[in-house]
A = this chain, B = another copy of it.
Amino acid sequence: MAWKGISDAVIRRLPIYLRVLEEVRGKETCISSHELGKRAGVRPALVRKDLAWFGEFGKQGVGYDVEFLQDELRKILNLDEPLHMALVGVGSLGHALARYNWRRFKEDPLFTIKLVALFDIRPELIGRDIDDVPIYSTDEIPRVVPENDIRLAIVTVPADVAQEITDVLVQAGVKAILNFAPVKLDVPKDVQVANADLSLELQRLAYYIGAQHP
């Protein structure tokens, strides 16, 4: 689905709501913005405002139908159909994430993000697979990405080649990147990057240590 001009702050909360709905599903058929907010760590007014951007999903005096809202949120987030993902850089972190994602996908039928290709530069890895996901040469990105309709990629390559790999991925049609390399990636405006920069997070956390910060 496609909405325009909705703030990323809103979009970030939708997957959190989705997680709460998944927890609640089966136990309750209906949930109020108050309850949903409490479990998500968000004020009820903000829950209602967030949802109202996309439609009128609730009933006054009652709340939101859990399954209905879940379906709607999944449509909004493009999680109602399989989404093909690649991972570039099968080092120890890449390897771990490949296995992690695969397990997630196997266990949860609602997790539609499917890892379909791995890429690495090392010849000894190419042609092998991890949990049935094949490892290709990075040279093959321009062929394999379009062929498999891959739109999403995880980047776990060393910092010094991250930009280069990103350019190739974007050129091949990737629209969103989860970046673990400690670099700010330059991408066209129609490509989204989420940074999972562990060093930055750890350095930030360090600030809150040592003193009695409230």
In the complex, what distance in Å separates the CA atom of A199 from the CA atom of B97?
A: 11
With A and B bound together, what is the CA distance between A104 and B96 in angstroms?
A: 18
A53 within 8 A of B: no
- If A2-B212, A198-B196 touch, whether A206 touches B152 (CB-CB below 8 Å) is yes
In contact, B194 and A204 (Cβ under 8 angstroms): yes
A43 within 8 A of B: no
Query: In the complex, are the beta carbons of A208 and B175 less than 8 A apart?
Result: yes
CB distance A15 to B209 under 8 Å?
A: no
Number of copies of chain A assembled together: 2
Set of chain B residues within 8 Å of A190, measured between Cβ atoms = 212-214
Interface residues of A in 1-26 (CB under 8 A from B): 1-2, 4, 8, 11-12, 14-16, 18-19
Could you say which of A104, A190, A206 has the most chain B C-beta atoms within 10 Å of its C-beta?
A: A206
A121 and B209 alpha carbons, distance in the complex (Å)? 27
The reply to whether A100 and B93 contact each other, CB–CB distance below 8 Å, is yes
Q: With contacts A96-B92, A190-B214, A198-B97 known, is A78 near B4, CB below 8 A? A: no
Q: Which residues of A (155-184) have their CB < 8 Å from a CB of B?
A: 175-178, 182, 184
CB neighbours (8 Å) of A4 from chain B are 213-214
Nearest-CB distance from A197 to chain B (Å)? 9
Tell me if A143 is interfacial: C-beta within 8 Å of chain B: no
Residues of B near A40 (CB, < 8 A) are: 184
Give A208 to B190 CA distance when docked, in angstroms.
8
Q: Given A176-B208, A203-B15, do A198 and B100 touch, yes or no (CB 8 Å)? A: yes
In the complex, which residues of chain B have a beta carbon less than 8 angstroms from the beta carbon of A196?
196, 198, 201
Partner of A203, one of B18, B175, B189, B198: B18
Task: Given the known inter-chain contacts A15-B204, A178-B201, A214-B190, please indicate yes or no for A151 contacting B97, CB distance below 8 A.
Answer: no
Can you offer 13 A-B residue contacts whose CB atoms are under 8 A?
A1-B210, A1-B211, A4-B214, A78-B207, A91-B96, A93-B96, A111-B199, A152-B205, A175-B208, A178-B202, A178-B205, A196-B196, A196-B201
